[in-house]
Chains A and B, each alone.
Chain A
Amino acid sequence: MPAEPAETPVNGESWRRISPLAVIDFVVTAIRQGLVQLLPALAVAFASAASSERFEVAWVLAGLAALLLLGLVWSVLSWMRFGYRLQAARIVVRKGVLLRQALNVEFDRIQNVSVNEPFYFRPFGLAALGIDTAGSSGKEIRLPGLPLAQARALRDRLVAEAQAAGDAPGGETGADEPAPGEEHGGTVLLRLSRRDVVYAGLTANFMLWAAVAIGTVMGSGDTAENLVGWLVQTLDLGQLADSLREQGGDLMVALAVAAAALLALMLLPLVSVIGALLRYDGYTLSVDGDRFRRSSGLLSRHDESVRQHKIQGVTWKQNAIALLLGRINLQLRQASSGSGIESGQQPGTGLAQAFMVPSLLPVQAQSLTARFLPGCDTAAARYTRVDPWRFIGVSSAWIAVPPALGLMPLAVIVDARFALAWLVVAAVIVLIAARCWRQTGWAISGDHGLVRKGFIGSNTSVFPLFKVQRVDVVQTPWLEKRGLAHLTLHLASHSVSLHWMRLEDAEQIRDLALYRAECGDEAWI
């Protein structure tokens, strides 16, 4: 977007100020950005200071205080400079201390407007308005320190303006204008209870990642040893064990160790649940005209919205834990903002965070999917599986053959039992591949395609066929002989691929998707 020294007032309107409390927001942003950039430097400085003999805590503290003071002064200057004003077809934001800039955002470039209530603003009834623009720059404009009601009114006005500007050439109906100033102008589709949010935490993929992370930390011997050593020392565990042994013998010690291990295991879900509470507490999903909006958050409330026609697809995520609890997490897929294409011609939302609708019962997931993708009946989908022998055979061969190359010579030279070990491993791999094959399938339900994959749980991509942007069909001479093919459907948000399909199925899906994409002239992004 063009930056110019727009000091000349247009329409005679002067710059609107934001609350002085916005300084807090500037400080927080400065600290957040500063920490990321300065952390390595700080760590080095601290380490060298600590190792040198003239190490003085006072100096370090003084340095930190100076940095903080500098940040504060900078933030005050930023606030003094900050201003915004609305003009006929754009919003102008004036900011910057040394590099002074005025950002012009045309209303028709606005992709999304959100009202966030960070925890430090909530006691004062303030909010931060985020404006997301189209274009590869993907920069978000942030107006911190607006009174909540004003922020909401501004959001609704900007959304209405953007809608009006965007719809004019496309000839769409922009009749549903939101009622200004209310928290939720539309109908509430979903409210999550605390229990749902706890389930969302338990079923988050984070759990699996955390397990992996802890596994790696424990796997690297030094770290684990140091950690255990440190724990034993600080908590005086040795003495604790001794006193336990005196009172109740070895059994008591074993029990205590088991309890500690259990506690550590419980800690993981706890962290995940706390994360979910922070993010999803008070989750409300509402619809207003063709705009879906979610707002949630415990300390900081976040608000996010998407227009129905921007939704590229819905992904149902159900991992093993979610399967056990009978819940499904939905993710709305939107066009990913791409870089690398010049002049910012490319529309796309610069939202980093995924639009999640967590912790749904299957019935809710079905009805909400039908809301997000009108006419999509997920219950009616009948899945077709892919070719079992090639799927299981090839995917297990990829994993099982390389170890065989290592183990077979060992079996010949050292001990025949290595061959046995490989057989066991190979059998497990084949079983896993067979399970993955059972979970893999595709379906066409009306105007929508569904592709399911998974191992214990499953991931199902549901997408309108007409949103497909590109179709790839891959064949090797070997596949051709057996009448099979790999199919990849590319959407603006993600791509969906299926391997080892029957060629005629792949071709039929391709023809259908292309027909749908080429028939309609609806906006798809």
Chain B
Amino acid sequence: MAFTNQQVDADALPRAAELQLHRLPPEHRREILAQSLMVLAIVLIPTFIPQLITKIPGSVRAVLWLIPITVAGFGALFTALAMIRFRYKGYAMREHDIAFRTGLFWRKTTLLPFDRVQHAEVTQGPLQRRFGLSTLKFFTAGGSSVDLKIEGLLSDQAESLRESVLARSVHAR
């Protein structure tokens, strides 16, 4: 193997930190909202059941109203957090790699060189289908888990991103 070991000027390296990230499409925000509301509804409905049972005294029932109120409060909080988290999500492509950032408090930025991608997948859930969205997943060699997952891309966007990454990856087949 021809082995070289020139000095690399650390300041001259392309800096990943200077990336301008693209936001995900607004449809994804609507999808997050729809999903949160659906989950909230499923959790909230059973909490009204005590109100329908007339055998429970009125005073107790009045106190039991606290349950749906609390649940709704937490639901509103989590929904708000999910909406804010949406603003922090972003992706970008460079000449040789793809970047994705996610997380509200735990902000994780992942960089994946195209050349290390072995395999890519585009999936679409039932709710995503309604909004015309897809999830793009990239896999590398070794582990069995997903290496990079971008949820909430427009379907044709996801498809073209996948194609362009695979086209630039020498090793993916």
Contact = CB atoms under 8 A, between A and B. Distances in A.
A29 interface: no
B8 interface: yes
A347 interface: yes
Contacts of A14: none
Interface residues of A, number: 44
Interface in B85-104: 96-97, 103
Given A469-B140, A512-B13, A346 B111 contact: no
A406 B103 CA distance: 33
Given A335-B142, A374-B1, A525-B141, A470 B112 contact: yes
B107 A514 contact: no
A341 interface: yes
B109 A492 contact: no
Which of A336, A515, A521 has the most chain B CB within a 10 Å cutoff? A515
B140 A470 contact: yes
A447 interface: yes
B130 interface: no
Interface residues of B, number: 37
B110 A470 contact: yes
B144 A474 contact: no
A17 to B, nearest CB: 37
B10 A345 contact: no
A136 B1 CA distance: 29
B15 interface: yes
B142 A336 contact: yes
A522 B141 contact: no
A9 interface: no
Nearest to B97: A514
B142 A476 contact: no
Contacts of A477: 105
B159 interface: no
Interface stretch (A240-248, A316-324, A431-439, A503-511): A503-511
Interface string B1-27: 101010010100111110000000000
A517 interface: yes
A249 interface: no
Contacts of B108: 472-474
A340 interface: yes
B119 to A, nearest CB: 6
Nearest to B139: A341
A33 interface: no
A345 B118 contact: yes
Given A346-B119, A510-B16, A511-B13, A518 B143 contact: no
B143 A336 contact: yes
Interface string A81-101: 000000000000000000000
B112 A469 contact: yes
Interface of B: 1, 3, 5, 8, 10, 13-17, 96-97, 103, 105-113, 115-116, 118-119, 139-145, 147-148, 170, 173
Given A340-B144, A507-B16, A507-B17, 9 more contacts: A341-B119, A345-B173, A374-B3, A447-B5, A470-B147, A490-B147, A492-B142, A508-B13, A524-B116
